[in-house]
Structure 1
Amino acid sequence: MAEIVFPENFEWGAATASYQIEGAYNEDGKGESIWDRFTHQKGNIANNDTGDLACDHYHRYQEDIKLMQKIGLDTYRFSISWPRILPAGNGKINQKGIDFYKNLVEELLEAGIKPAATLYHWDLPQKLQDNGGWENRDTAKYFDQYAQIMYRELGDLIPRWITHNEPMVVSMVANLWGEHAPGNQELQKALQVAHNVLLSHGLAAQSFRESGIDGELGITLNLNHVYPNSDSKKDQIAADYCDAFNNRWFLDPVFKGKYPEKLMDLYQNKFDQPFEVKAGDLDIISREIDFLGINYYSRAVVKYDEDEFYNFKTIKPEAEYTEMNWEVYPKGLTDLLKRLDREYTKGPIFITENGAAYDDQIAEDGSVHDPKRVNYLKEHFKAAHQALEAGVNLAGYYVWSLMDNFEWAYGYNKRFGIIYIDYDNHQKRILKDSARLLKDVIENNGLKNK
């Protein structure tokens, strides 16, 4: 008898991203992406690692789908590499790129696994970056054209579409903090990028509706529940600023057609024109979507700091942390889901990513035991179930990640997978204990007593 049981139609899956797993970075007509360029510049990535080979999924997707089948996935979330489809970002279509994704999707369907495609998981065509990238409003228009090509080519095969993965990372981590491609460090640039990414989402959502595709479309936002360090009024103010920066800057335009006033006031005090918003943009951005995808890894705890531009400073409580130095805090997932249901949407919510990086090792018998990840996932599954019990319309859960992969600025140093990739031994795949946990959870549609 299961300890907790999920609703009958609840979907269990795992997720990946194109640049992190595919490899074949310059094969079959694929164009250069900003990550190809960024990783090939020495000093940007730990160990100067690149995604040139990654997990070689481009050549081994059939083997990987067999492993998905073995785990019993209901659904698989992957991303499409824009420069594999349009090497220059617009113009000439690369048929071999379309064929790869068509073959992948057909193989998934044959295996009884529902494909969920993310149109953008950060690998912008470098040719578009050369013309200003996401800071250039034209990129939103080109993204819409790319989306329309994918709807036309694969709309009858893919039932679930996600426009963007984590616009906050695309804008702030890549263009304010400079940790991700293209490595800019300028607030105004980051704000314009955030707006144009959201605009491109709205345009692609509009095109999806007009296409008449029998499917569903949403967006994935990385969100964390924010807690003040104390009950003091100042720490409450700090938490509000942090929430506006991390969460509301992206939630509010999508669901309410506006940006948080708190931050707009801050930006307008700093700049004459923080970023360009044209008439009608926010109506486009807030077009109705079928579901919200959320990526949750940890919470934020903050205290007031008047020396900081945003008036908050993140602090690290005494707690258990993952290899990413992220606090393990499952309750944050329950609190976040309840808050989204209360303030933003009664529509379906998918956890499109949740998982943890740990220092996994191959045991003498060739197996990979990852007890910390097993526990992390169990506790987060329970947290998700508590949100369901509170009435949240939670429709599915994708574990991040299906396999160890190229972890952006960290290269291959961090392992998030439920499948171990032995990079030194011909990319051998080994199911970890966490993959067996997920298999059991899917079979029981819940957690058994043990």
Structure 2
Amino acid sequence: MPPKKPETVAKALGLRPDFLWGVSTSAFQVEGATKEDGRGPSIWDTRCRLEGGVWGGVNADTACDHYHRWPEDIALMKEIGVSAYRFSLAWPRLLPRGRGAVNPAGLDFYDRLIDGLLEAGIQPWACLYHWDLPQALDDLGGWTNRDSAGWFADFAVLAAKRYGDRVKHWATFNEFSVFTLFGYAIDWAAPGVTDKSAHMRAVHHVNLAHGAGVDILRDHVPGASIGAIHNRQIVRPEGGLEENKAAAELLNAHWNLVFADPQHLGHYPAIVLDQMEPHVKAGDMAAICRPTDWIGLNHYGPIYAKVNPDLTWGYGWGEPPQSANHPEVGWPIFPEVFKEELLELTRRYKMPIYVTENGCGGGAGSDEPDETGEVKDTHRIAYFREYTKAMRDAVAEGADLRGYFVWSLLDCFEWGSGYGPRFGLLHVDFPTGKRTLKNSGKWYRGLITGQHGGE
């Protein structure tokens, strides 16, 4: 059966005629080639070499070898049928020391990638920052240094001038709260600082960098469509216990509000004002709250918070109720919360939304090829079936949703979890780099082409 027209598929699913289907990756997680062609070290290269920094003691020196295998990966995207690819630009590949001397080989790599995507009829969606701060800038204080907003602005100018003639969809940052909270308050990510003041300084300086990036992209990219990508998860007290409610309220502010509120509403949430005000100077909020075209949502499920006096802010991650286990997926999933987040984003910020990450990294099924070479990841298909239905239900109730990007195109380096969880539509045999399209990738192709109605 030939594929149906995209607008016909969208109509059948209750979506906009121009609804966009895509896949996402990030530079550090897939590229490899960390020591090739003049790339400088990032804070994650450093963390990979710290004892206990990454599960299994692994690194991303090779990762998926996307740096060399990008033509194959583009061909596989085309086979799946996606119309957009969200990737990030590696700051230390373009500016090995974070500022100053430019690396021509790094610039050339993204020229090849972007041109290859356009030739294949796939829209390039570029994210400026996906956690790979150059180590040389971290040595100067990283995001705790107010100068970091200016360093980021210079990086943004370089990227916009070089690629803005071909790349029209841009995100400033990916998942602000993850790399700030886990990097500066809870030691789960680079650079591994645990200090309240450092955390709040990093939050404010990243917000300033975002605002500067928006203005630069607007000035240097004709016809730019600009947004930022937020991880949002409803925060619930573990067990519904009264003793965990204050922990959930503060975590909700740090996780869901301290970036999106100032960027779109022009102010920080009241619960953090005492900690934020020492770092806010005259004109800062206006510099942060800049007009954008869309908001990106990365969502997997809710967070359960509990009191933990041993951690920086007195809260920690709790456990979801086991009653939420999905019989096919094998672990708790909450598609109704996904629907709720899409509706809440539309109500709170009144912005068009793109789901820039959604996916499944574990479960009862297998992510390994069987004896015939087939990857029967039925758990992931069950997850996508439930979440894309919830997405369509949200649209039916008024969510202004414009597109959906699966995390991820490839099994890849998953930060502190190393190569343990596999999220890809493509299985990667890491020793050889061989790609195999999983059954979930075939299911996604069927959804995009109208071969099934999401069932």
TM-score by length of 1: 0.92
Pick from 359, 378, 381 the counterpart of residue 385 of structure 2.
378
Taking structure 1 as reference, are residues 275 and 59 closer, same or farther at Cα in structure 2, changes over 3 Å only? Answer: farther
| Pair 1:296 & 2:305 matched | no
Following TM superposition, by how much is the alpha carbon of 1:343 offset from its aligned partner in structure 2, in angstroms?
1.5
Following TM superposition, by how much is the alpha carbon of 1:320 offset from its aligned partner in structure 2, in angstroms?
2.1
Pick from 171, 178, 200 the counterpart of residue 180 of structure 2.
171
Q: Which residue of 2 aligns with 1:348?
A: 352
Where 1:55 maps in the other structure, the secondary structure is coil
Partners of 1:50 and 1:233 in 2: how far apart? 41
Aligned residue identity for 2:342: L
Partners of 2:330 and 2:281 in 1: how far apart? 40
Where 1:140 maps in the other structure, the secondary structure is helix
Where 1:198 maps in the other structure, the secondary structure is helix
Partners of 1:326 and 1:34 in 2: how far apart? 32
Cα-to-partner distance string for 1:69-108 (whole Å, 9 max, x where unaligned): 0000110000000010001111111111111001100000
Query: Contact 2:237–2:245 (CA<8 Å) still a contact in 1?
Result: yes
Following TM superposition, by how much is the alpha carbon of 1:214 offset from its aligned partner in structure 2, in angstroms?
1.4
Partners of 2:261 and 2:52 in 1: how far apart? 36
| Pair 1:109 & 2:118 matched | yes
Pick from 271, 277, 282 the counterpart of residue 280 of structure 2.
277
Aligned residue identity for 2:370: A
Worse overlay, 218-227 or 408-417? 218-227
Following TM superposition, by how much is the alpha carbon of 1:284 offset from its aligned partner in structure 2, in angstroms?
1.1
Q: Which residue of 1 aligns with 2:336?
A: 331
Question: How many pairs were matched up?
Answer: 440
Aligned residue identity for 1:203: A
Partners of 2:428 and 2:320 in 1: how far apart? 31
Aligned residue identity for 1:389: A
Worse overlay, 429-438 or 242-251? 242-251
Where 1:448 maps in the other structure, the secondary structure is coil
Q: Which residue of 1 aligns with 2:75?
A: 66
Partners of 2:452 and 2:257 in 1: how far apart? 33
Pick from 411, 414, 421 the counterpart of residue 407 of structure 1.
414
Taking structure 1 as reference, are residues 303 and 50 closer, same or farther at Cα in structure 2, changes over 3 Å only? Answer: closer
Following TM superposition, by how much is the alpha carbon of 1:242 offset from its aligned partner in structure 2, in angstroms?
3.5
Taking structure 1 as reference, are residues 277 and 383 closer, same or farther at Cα in structure 2, changes over 3 Å only? Answer: same
Equivalent residue runs for 1:29-44 within 5 Å: 29-44=38-53
Query: Contact 1:170–1:194 (CA<8 Å) still a contact in 2?
Result: no
Equivalent residue runs for 1:303-318 within 5 Å: 314-318=318-322
Q: Which residue of 1 aligns with 2:160?
A: 151
Q: Which residue of 2 aligns with 1:194?
A: 203
Query: Contact 2:14–2:396 (CA<8 Å) still a contact in 1?
Result: no
Q: Which residue of 1 aligns with 2:368?
A: 361
Aligned residue identity for 1:243: N
Aligned residue identity for 1:183: G
Following TM superposition, by how much is the alpha carbon of 1:263 offset from its aligned partner in structure 2, in angstroms?
2.4
Query: Contact 1:188–1:274 (CA<8 Å) still a contact in 2?
Result: no
Aligned residue identity for 1:427: G
| Pair 1:441 & 2:435 matched | no
| Structure 2: runs of 5 or more not aligned | 1-7
Q: Which residue of 2 aligns with 1:392?
A: 399
Following TM superposition, by how much is the alpha carbon of 1:4 offset from its aligned partner in structure 2, in angstroms?
3.2
Taking structure 1 as reference, are residues 112 and 169 closer, same or farther at Cα in structure 2, changes over 3 Å only? Answer: same
Query: Contact 1:299–1:327 (CA<8 Å) still a contact in 2?
Result: no
Partners of 1:196 and 1:326 in 2: how far apart? 37
| Structure 1: runs of 5 or more not aligned | 268-272
Aligned residue identity for 1:245: H
Query: Contact 2:32–2:61 (CA<8 Å) still a contact in 1?
Result: yes
Where 1:375 maps in the other structure, the secondary structure is helix
Partners of 2:411 and 2:247 in 1: how far apart? 36
Partners of 1:325 and 1:167 in 2: how far apart? 29
Q: Which residue of 2 aligns with 1:270?
A: none
Query: Contact 2:182–2:189 (CA<8 Å) still a contact in 1?
Result: yes
Aligned residue identity for 1:371: T
Where 2:127 maps in the other structure, the secondary structure is strand
Calculate percent identity across the aligned residue pairs. 38
Partners of 1:312 and 1:87 in 2: how far apart? 35
Partners of 2:191 and 2:60 in 1: how far apart? 15
Cα-to-partner distance string for 1:98-129 (whole Å, 9 max, x where unaligned): 11001100000000000000100000111111
Pick from 399, 420, 427 the counterpart of residue 420 of structure 1.
427
Partners of 1:393 and 1:161 in 2: how far apart? 19
Aligned residue identity for 1:342: R
Partners of 1:33 and 1:122 in 2: how far apart? 9
Partners of 1:179 and 1:305 in 2: how far apart? 15
Partners of 2:354 and 2:21 in 1: how far apart? 10
Query: Contact 1:249–1:259 (CA<8 Å) still a contact in 2?
Result: yes
Taking structure 1 as reference, are residues 18 and 326 closer, same or farther at Cα in structure 2, changes over 3 Å only? Answer: farther
Following TM superposition, by how much is the alpha carbon of 1:310 offset from its aligned partner in structure 2, in angstroms?
5.8
Q: Which residue of 1 aligns with 2:5?
A: none
Q: What is the RMSD computed on CA atoms of the aligned residues? A: 2.5
Cα-to-partner distance string for 1:115-151 (whole Å, 9 max, x where unaligned): 0001000001111111111111111101111101111
Partners of 2:418 and 2:196 in 1: how far apart? 26
TM-score by length of 2: 0.91
Partners of 1:371 and 1:55 in 2: how far apart? 23
Taking structure 1 as reference, are residues 299 and 449 closer, same or farther at Cα in structure 2, changes over 3 Å only? Answer: closer
Query: Contact 1:151–1:213 (CA<8 Å) still a contact in 2?
Result: no
